[in-house]
Amino acid sequence: MTVSTRLLRGLAGGALAVTSAGVLLGGAAPAALADAPPPGLSIQISNDGDQVSPDSDTTYTVEFRNQGSEAVGGRVTLTAPGYGTVTKAEPEAKLTDTTASWDDITVEPGASVKRTATVRIGTIPKNLTRVTTLAGFYLSDDSAAPPVVLSSDADRIPGVAEPGSSPVPKSTAGSSAEWWLWAGVAGALLVVAAIAYAALLLIRRRRRRAASHAAHRGRPTDPDGRTGTAAQTVDDSRADLAARDSHRV
């Protein structure tokens, strides 16, 4: 996350810079800011993403602009957090464990300069929620001199909650949502299958009853109200009796 700052006067041994996100507090800030900087100066620091992980390398780009009416000379300095190490700078710069300084820079009115540095982030203290790296422009080569403009890049730390929030890791949230989705689909399919099975049983019962009634209505009946095989048996018995009577006569 890139945060550009405009210069404000230093206060009582601390550094105060108003940013787009509010007031920048803490970090590896210089002791104070310059009291009367030339007008029209600004500086910006950024990297490729908005997250920085422990034990990783990240490359920062620093851009200093002069929108004033006069040329300005000085130095640009990048300051990494105490748990970071500056490993490389382009173009060549003076390096310490946590700083990269490009000296003897002159910027004409309406012009700008860019510098890059790679920082190796080590073990991040557990009490931090962001990794903050600073960039400043100094009118003097004196290391104790204050910067005239200051900027910061404050990146989130994966898996670390921001103050006032309790985020769920993305993978966990996605897995939970997918589980509930599939559970809902499976439940709906079971309900549909049960309804279809019940309807099939009902249709079969109705067909059986209809066939039974149709068969019953189609069988022959005798005067006594008997049907089918029973009526035929009675008729055969009566025929046998008549034949016996004729033989006797």
Structure tokens at 25: 């507090």
DSSP-assigned letter for residue 63: E
- Compute the distance between CA of residue 28 and CA of residue 47 in angstroms, rounded to an integer: 18
- Compute the distance between CA of residue 68 and CA of residue 45 in angstroms, rounded to an integer: 20
Global pTM reads: 0.57
- Beta-carbon-side half-sphere exposure of residue 133 (alpha carbons within 13 Å): 34
SS3 218: helix
- Compute the distance between CA of residue 7 and CA of residue 149 in angstroms, rounded to an integer: 5
Beta bridge partners of 150: 136
- Compute the distance between CA of residue 111 and CA of residue 17 in angstroms, rounded to an integer: 23
pLDDT of residue 205: 82
SS (H, E, C) 107-158: ECCCCEEEEEEEEEECCCCCCCCEEEEEEEEECCCCCCCCCCEEEEEEEECC
Residue-by-residue pLDDT tens, the chain, 249 positions: 554 444 433 322 333 333 333 334 334 444 455 556 788 999 999 998 899 999 999 999 999 999 999 999 999 999 999 999 999 999 999 999 999 999 999 999 999 999 999 999 999 999 999 999 999 999 877 767 889 999 999 999 999 988 776 554 544 445 556 666 777 778 888 887 888 888 888 888 888 887 777 776 655 555 555 555 555 555 555 666 656 665 554
Beta bridge partners of 77: 101, 136
- Compute the distance between CA of residue 125 and CA of residue 111 in angstroms, rounded to an integer: 39
Strands 94-95 and 56-66: unpaired
- Compute the distance between CA of residue 227 and CA of residue 49 in angstroms, rounded to an integer: 92
